Structure 1
Amino acid sequence: MSPIKKVALFGKGNVGSATLEHLLKAGFQVTVFGRSKHEVPPGAISVQVDYSLDTLSEALKGHDAIVSTVGPAAVLAQKTIIDAAIIAGVRRFIPSEFSSVNTDPKARDIPTFQLFIEIQDYLKAKAETGDIEFTIFATGPFLEYVFGSPLFIDLERRVVQLHDKGDVRISATSIAGIGKAIAGGLQKPDQTKNRVIHVHETVISQLKLLDLVKKAFPEVELSITSVNSFDALDAATAKFVQDPTDLIVAFELIKAVMVSGKYYTEYLELDNELVGLPILSDEDLEKDWVPLMAKKK
Structure 2
Amino acid sequence: MMALAQKTAGRRQAPGGPGKPPPRTTRSAGPSRGQGLVAHVFLLPWMIGMVAVTAGPLVASAVLAFTDYDLLSAPQFIGLDNFVRMAGDERFWAAVRVTLVYVLVSVPLQLGFALFLAVVLDKGLRGLSLYRSAFYLPSLLGGSVAIAILWRQIFGENGLVNHVLGWFGLELGSWLQDPSLALSTLVVLNVWTFGSPMVIFLAGLRQIPEELYEASMIDGAGRLRRFWSITIPLLTPIIFLNLILQMISAFQAFTQAHVVSGGSGGPLDSTLFYTLYIYQRGFVNFDMGYASAMAWVLLLVIAAATAANFLVSRRWVYYGDE
Q: TM-score, normalised by structure 1?
A: 0.20
Bigger strand share: 1
> Who wins on radius of gyration, i.e. which is larger?
2
Bigger helix share: 2
Q: TM-score, normalised by structure 2?
A: 0.19
User: Higher relative contact order at CA 8 Å, sep ≥6: structure 1 or structure 2?
Assistant: 2
